[in-house]
Structure 1
Amino acid sequence: MSDHDQLLRQLIDRMTASGSLRTQPWKDAAAAVDRHEFLRNGFFRVVPGSSPTAWTPVLQDGDGWLEACYADESLVTQIAGTIKPTDIRGEIMREPTSSSTLPSLVLRMLEDLGAEPGMEVLEIGTGTGYSTAVLCARVGAGRVTSIEYDEEVALQARETLSRLGTYPNLLIGDGLLGGDQGALYDRVIATCAVRTVPAAWLERTRPGGQILTTIGGWLSASELVRLTVHEDGTASGPVLGGQVSFMLARPHLAPPLGLLPDLNRGKEREAIIGADVLDDWTTRFVAQFAVPNAQRLKLRHGQHDEDLLFDVESESFAALHQDHGRWIVRQDGPHLLWDTVEEHLGRWHSAGTPTVEEATVRVTSEGQSIHW
């Protein structure tokens, strides 16, 4: 048995033990795909102790490369939208823009998707092509369409899949617009997060079909959701939980903050709920449904450290600070952001703060909402 065969077997055993890999058909699919083939251009590793985070390249056959390919961890494959591991020497301090997702999450999502042979499947976000290959091994390459926004990433995935003799329908374009025009799919899976589920995904999914996606937002909390599309074009389904985090689809990234408004204006009142609740992942996820266009930042304003929610488009803001144990909120703009957050979280608290796994997301032409 080769080194990579042994490492792949160990990875499958770990995923099985953790519960990510649950059924024999998907174990067989995972066993049919060598992850290292999709990482031959290397990946970036975090420089220990760096702040801000610095990255250094790990190239094929370099120190620890093969072992890392079969570790159950995400591996960054692109930085700043264009930079590959082979492009630099030393360190780089920029934001990751593409990665090979940790295998246990890939297999957990594919299991949750429930795709079977004979189904037409659309994958949003080809990435390195690893998840595409596993999907092809289960349902057949002729049944898989995968679309990638980044042309260079897409071409590399196509080259790797072709070298391995796997030929799904690979597209380059905006996955938020769906796959082939007029095509219908039984399953849609997204390997990027979205703020709102695109209408095109519902239109491309047969009634009774399912969409598996991560819903996130600019408050930096996201969860995996499985939606069933109904005859009337709406969709609903459970939040699966697990604090699943993917990079937001590039068209869904937050706009630059630009110049902040005059934070001295607006009306003050004592807050019913303090800004510290947003330090909790689940609370942020719930709050995002109330103020989907708000970004959060912390700053020093006058004599206070303040939590700021800011909606760039409307220039609405809510600034909160503590004063002798009380939370004070100051708001201005057409949308009273903190009033909306308090009302939304208040309903959640009245329901007993149920877990996200007890929640249902509904998507209609008017938008999306969360319910218990």
Structure 2
Amino acid sequence: MTADPARRLRHALAVSVPVEDPAWRDALEAVPRELFLGEAVFRPSGVQWEPVHRRTVGQEEWLRLVYQDTTWVTQIEGVTAVDAPGPMAGRPTSSSTLPSLIMRMLDLAGIRDGDRVLEIGTGTGYSTALLCHRLGDKNVYSVEYDPGLAAAAADHIHTAGHSPTLLTGDGLAGHRGGAEYDAIVATCAVRYIPPAWLHQVRDGGTITTTISGWMLASGLIRLTVHDDGTATGRFTGDRIGYMLARPHERPPRPTFRRRPGQTRPARFDPGLLDDWTAQFVAQLAAPSAELMTTSDGVILVDVATGSQAWTEITGDGWQVHQHGPLRLWDAVEDCLTAWQEAGAPPQSAFGMTVNHDGTQHIWLSEPTGPSWNLPV
């Protein structure tokens, strides 16, 4: 490596990441990502997460890891990589997002010099520092839900030489003190657009986020806020996903036991839900259900009502069993039918409207087309 290996690796990363606005490439070259990953990260190891420590792999290998266009998980179920006693099982609860996805979000948001931006989810602080480099510290506001992560991110950001407005709390409430914003960018997913975001963005401003749910299907969207109090936009079709915002996370799943109920032939092969858009469509139909896959197809469990649906293969195809007050598979099949009758278009054919009365819905093809309400 050269005398300044980090700078060389930053340059290589910056030129490899596609950007529409070259100012973001300048930010990638300027902000040292190694300042934001601490002393350890998690990497997948089978069904577990293995902590990787800088002192163990050495500085040269550590920098190679840092400057990969990779998401590095930094916390599992509230435990940071540096504190992990060894490999861990569980769900990631914080990460340093891959730089190309950060660039995609910031490009999509249409941020320009002089804009005031509210970031939801400070995380490690890396994307916050990128915003600061581009916009100046006074124009950047960032909210982090987890107090421990917020404190660590503040240290990282200040070490990098920046002093934006950093807040600890529920990012779904935004931050009225900095409003009105030109853009809100969320580095977490949400089940619906929080009303506070809509109220804190100027007319013509944007909200860029991923809409997800308890099936963990997601779609990236930029919404434009209008002067009548509404917001509209189309999904991009990018196959990306963020962790759900903590207040939107799934509650504990009811224990699944096969219960007696209605049985009938299934109209669709459950393997269809392996398709990115089809799973997104299924989630619209059953927004409070979780999805599990088995050798016999799929299981749906509705967290709110305990309703269940599960499939199994028979000699003639597939059959579905349903139990509880909601017929989950009926709703999923109806939604999939509407999608297929429209030609099974990609996710980019879907759009979203947030109404001034707080209701929100996702529509297919046009705002007047088939639509599904979000669980506001």
When normalised by structure 2's length, the TM-score is 0.90
1:2 aligns with 2:4: yes
1:330 aligns with 2:332: no
1:13 aligns with 2:9: no
- Report which stretch shifted further, 161-170 or 52-61: 52-61
Q: Provide, for residues 8-31 of structure 1, a one-character-per-residue CA deviation record: whole Å limited to 9, x for no partner.
A: 01111111xxx3x23221112222
Matched residue, 1:357: 348
Counterpart contact for 2:40–2:51, Cα < 8 Å: no
Q: Provide, for residues 160-208 of structure 1, a one-character-per-residue CA deviation record: whole Å limited to 9, x for no partner.
A: 2112221111000011111235822110000011122222211211221
1:33 aligns with 2:28: no
Structure 1 alignment gaps of length 5 or more: none
Once residues 4 and 344 of structure 1 are traced to their aligned partners in structure 2, the CA distance between those partners, rounded to angstroms, is 50
Matched residue, 2:276: 281
Report the alpha carbon displacement of residue 306 of structure 1 after superposing the two structures with TM.
5.4
Structure 2 counterpart of 1:146, from 139, 142, 149? 142
Structure 2 counterpart of 1:75, from 54, 72, 75? 72
Equivalent position SS for 1:165: coil
Write the letter of the residue equivalent to 1:337: L
Once residues 323 and 360 of structure 2 are traced to their aligned partners in structure 1, the CA distance between those partners, rounded to angstroms, is 25
Report the alpha carbon displacement of residue 61 of structure 1 after superposing the two structures with TM.
7.6
Structure 1 residues 305-344: aligned runs within 5 Å:
305=296, 307-344=298-335
Could you say if the C-alpha distance between residues 169 and 60 of structure 1 is closer, same or farther in structure 2, counting changes exceeding 3 Å? Answer: farther
Q: Provide, for residues 302-355 of structure 1, a one-character-per-residue CA deviation record: whole Å limited to 9, x for no partner.
A: xxx352211121222222222213222222333222221112111111111111
Report the alpha carbon displacement of residue 229 of structure 1 after superposing the two structures with TM.
1.4
Report the alpha carbon displacement of residue 155 of structure 1 after superposing the two structures with TM.
0.7
Structure 1 residues 236-247: aligned runs within 5 Å:
236-247=232-243
Equivalent position SS for 1:26: helix
Matched residue, 1:228: 224
Report the alpha carbon displacement of residue 219 of structure 1 after superposing the two structures with TM.
1.6
1:184 aligns with 2:180: yes
Counterpart contact for 2:173–2:194, Cα < 8 Å: yes
Counterpart contact for 2:267–2:333, Cα < 8 Å: yes
Equivalent position SS for 2:182: strand
Counterpart contact for 1:289–1:370, Cα < 8 Å: no
Structure 2 alignment gaps of length 5 or more: 366-376
Write the letter of the residue equivalent to 1:368: H
Structure 1 counterpart of 2:88, from 92, 107, 110? 92
Q: Provide, for residues 276-308 of structure 1, a one-character-per-residue CA deviation record: whole Å limited to 9, x for no partner.
A: 2112222001221121101112468xxxx3522
Counterpart contact for 1:80–1:96, Cα < 8 Å: yes
Matched residue, 2:197: 201
When normalised by structure 1's length, the TM-score is 0.91
Write the letter of the residue equivalent to 1:30: L
Aligned length: 359
Counterpart contact for 2:219–2:237, Cα < 8 Å: yes
Report the alpha carbon displacement of residue 274 of structure 1 after superposing the two structures with TM.
2.8
Matched residue, 1:44: 42
1:367 aligns with 2:374: no
